[in-house]
Amino acid sequence: MQLGTVSMASRPISWVNTPVLQQAIDRYERGLLPRSMELWLQQLLDLEQPVKGPLRPHGLRPHC
């Protein structure tokens, strides 16, 4: 699979640790992920383009 000019690995994802995914989503929403992790999360969540705003409803965000 290819996104823009970045080539992504074609191996399937077997599982993702929930706390890791939640942390990645939180950092994605705040614009704090490195580009490679943004692309990984967009591929994992099957996002067509970058999302500007929250990915989760307000009630599902962890309290910091």
pLDDT score at 1: 45
Q: What's the CA gap between 57 and 15, in Å, rounded?
A: 23
Sign of CA dihedral 64, 45, 18, 8: negative
Predicted TM-score (pTM) above 0.75: no
User: For position 5, what pLDDT does the model report?
Assistant: 45
Query: Residues 21-60: pLDDT tens digits?
Result: 999 999 998 989 999 999 999 988 888 877 777 887 765 5
58 falls within a domain: no
The angle at the Cα of 8, spanning 28 to 43, to the nearest 5 degrees, equals 40
Tokens at 7, concatenated: 């080539």
The total number of structural domains in the chain stands at 1
Query: Does a structural domain hold residue 11?
Result: no
Give the mean pLDDT of 11-17: 74
Q: Is residue 41 part of a domain?
A: yes
Q: What is the DSSP string of 25-45?
A: HHHHHTT-S-HHHHHHHHHHT
